Chain A
């Protein structure tokens, strides 16, 4: 198959683009309205939002696996993908960023209410498929909203994987 000229990309190389590098430009371009804490760049805001999505997804998959509410081998494999995504996303945080989101960010506008993963029954394959499909759609907007090209690629890749998850879960 061979490489496409100028198109080979490694995950490690992509993640070398520091989100913090875009922070200066992001802050410089900021208008008067502040929708997020001033010390959090727009890119970091989106990144943390995706991380929160991932955390919820991981909890859902772990619950489904524990309950045996879906095909174990498939769920384990998909969970593995989500954990890979999580690692890549956390690695993309600025070096001086706290690993946990600031309190203001956690209750940001538009954020869904925090879920208590223990409050409901474990999701079956159909439920997980809906979650994946929703995530897939969200990634398009998120990829389009960040300024860092490496981060846009990472989010796009994650969205493509989640689309694949929805497809595989639909075949169960």
Chain B
């Protein structure tokens, strides 16, 4: 059975842990999109990737500020993240879709926060990441961020 992140095992607010998870996802997304922006062979993909990187940077900064404001430890970016081996358009698109799916799961978790501000941030970011996934050619699930049971 899949683990439910709607609350932690002791029933406490998942907000702090989910916020940290979302911030980690944003660090990876910024890294990933900057890679795509440099690796893509066509201008359309490069521009789309760099635009996405900027949007993820803004989200990253928002989450970091929220963590500081709430006294939550904000995870730092890692030195590197897994990248696709292939550099073709299809591979880069699939990689970008994966980045957004990871972010979607993190934001869905954040949407369970007892902190209304974090919850709405999570809900809004879930909408945004869903749209970016579509922009990269992803399919739209009935409930983005959820694993199908």
Contacts and interface: CB of A to CB of B under 8 A. Distances in A.
B25 interface: yes
B122 interface: yes
B142 A8 contact: no
B101 interface: yes
Interface in A117-172: 136, 139-140, 143-144, 149-150, 152-161, 163-165, 167-168
5 contacts: A4-B102, A81-B140, A149-B112, A153-B109, A164-B144
Given A8-B2, A157-B146, 8 more contacts: A7-B108, A10-B4, A140-B123, A153-B111, A154-B143, A160-B104, A161-B144, A167-B131
Interface footprint category on A: 35 or more
B5 A7 contact: yes
Interface of B: 1-7, 14, 17-18, 21, 25, 98, 101-102, 104-109, 111-114, 116, 119-120, 122-124, 126-131, 134, 140-149
A86 B134 CA distance: 23
Contacts of B107: 156
Contacts of A158: 143
A14 interface: yes
Nearest to A12: B149
B127 A159 contact: yes
A1 B4 contact: no
Contacts of A80: 142
Helix, strand, loop or mixed for chain A's interface?
helix
A143 B7 contact: no
Which among A7, A12, A88 has the highest number of chain B CB atoms within 10 Å?
A7
The list of the 7 closest CB pairs from A to B, nearest first, reads A149-B112, A156-B123, A157-B143, A156-B111, A10-B149, A10-B2, A13-B4
A163 B120 CA distance: 15
B108 A156 contact: yes
Interface in A27-45: none
A161 B143 contact: yes
Contacts of B109: 4, 6-7, 9, 153
Contacts of B124: 140
